[in-house]
Amino acid sequence: MGPENDSQISHFLLLGIAKNPRLQPFLFVLFLAMYLVTMLGNLLIIMATILGPHLHTPMYFFLFNLSLVDVCFTSTTVPKMLVNIHTQSNVIMYRNCIAQMHFFILFSGLEIFLLTVMAYDRYVAICHPLQYTVIMSPRLCVLMVLASWIMNILHSTTESLMTLRLSFCTDPEIPHFFCELNQVVHLACSDTLLNDVVIYFAAVLWACCPLMGILYSYSKIVSSICAISSLQGKCKAFSTCASHLSVVSLFYCTGLGVYLSSASTRNSQSTARASVMYSVVTPMMNPFIYSLRNKDIKRALRTILGWKK
């Protein structure tokens, strides 16, 4: 008997990133360690920005939101993957899959928007330092973050509702470690043309437009830095945006790597393994990038942890 169309299927099957049973214990330990490091690092950044009075500035307000989003972003996918590996079950309930997909779209979009807002913050700080406190007022900072949340909630809700209208074959297998939108849509037995149009339109709007904003901000930043006469002044100006530039490069390069790997290979599990870089590794690395060379963050963390200089 052939597969039946059934819009009310009870579950999907997540195939994960490796089929070899011998690798499962290693993957469990690896991803558990990465998840714990991500949680610890980002929660420390959140605590530092809240408890450190000298960190109550626009830059650290955005960093607080970025760390909060990283905690949620990673928690959307990794705990379920760990449960599946531990229980040796690939099942995810239909409603849980849609919810996971919804929150993954939400928090990945928020990551992009916050990185764009932070690029604008660095542009104002370096190109218009005398007007920085006037331009980057608390009201504007809150409005930009709030607008990011609203736009991404609308986007993720739209994608989720459009997926709910699709009919799926019985027991569809997702060759991924989480319910990735494109993979789920292409498992549908019904017509997905409208979904594909919305997905590609949103991909251009949500990825390319923020990237153009980031590139424009940094083109102005580079021009301003080059105009500084002293080498010490150039180094000081560059150091204020080096951490953000590193995070942006890591996120977009890993995301581009996933896109290129999916375009060049038909092996969907290779794409799933590549997705680990931007969905797990990037949120784990962000706290290290922002704290290693940041004296303000280090000072706040020493105070929180009770360490002396």
Can you tell me the distance from the alpha carbon of 16 to that of 73, in angstroms, rounded to the nearest whole number?
18
Q: Is residue 240 part of a domain?
A: yes
Alpha-carbon distance 5 to 8, whole Å? 9
Tell me if 8 is assigned to some domain. Answer: no
Domain that holds residue 193: 13-305
Residue 1 lies inside a defined structural domain of this protein: no
Looking at the domain assignment, is residue 6 inside a domain? no
What are the start-end ranges of the E strands in the chain? 5-6, 11-14, 91-93, 168-169, 173-174
Q: Tokens in use for 216?
A: 């424009």
Domain assignment of residue 96, yes or no: yes
How does residue 168 score in pLDDT terms, banded at 50, 70 and 90? confident
Q: 4 falls in which pLDDT band (50, 70, 90)?
A: very low
The answer to whether residue 244 scores a pLDDT higher than 90 is: no
Q: Which residue has the higher pLDDT, 262 or 21?
A: 21
Give residue 287's identity as a one-letter amino acid code.
P
How many Cβ atoms are within 10 Å of 260's Cβ, its own excluded? Answer: 12
Domain holding 150: CATH number? 1.20.1070.10
Query: Is the pLDDT assigned to residue 112 strictly greater than 80?
Result: yes
Domain annotation covers residue 147:
yes
pLDDT band at residue 3 using 50, 70 and 90 as cut-offs: very low
Mean pLDDT of 276-284: 87
31-57 residue pLDDT tens = 999 999 999 999 999 998 998 888 899
User: What's the total number of domains in the chain?
Assistant: 1
Q: Is residue 117 scored above 90 in pLDDT? A: yes
Answer yes or no: is 3 within a domain.
no
**Domain assignment present for 4:** no
Instruction: Using pLDDT thresholds of 50, 70 and 90, give the confidence band for residue 265.
Output: low
Q: What whole-number percentage of the chain has pLDDT above 70?
A: 91
Please give the pLDDT value at position 92. 92
The rounded distance, in Å, linking the Cα atoms of 14 and 256 is 23
- The count of other CB atoms within 10 Å of the CB of residue 232 is 9
Of 17-21, 49-53, 65-69, which one has max mean pLDDT?
65-69
Average pLDDT, the chain: 86
Q: What angle do CA 83, 89, 91 make, to 5 degrees?
A: 95
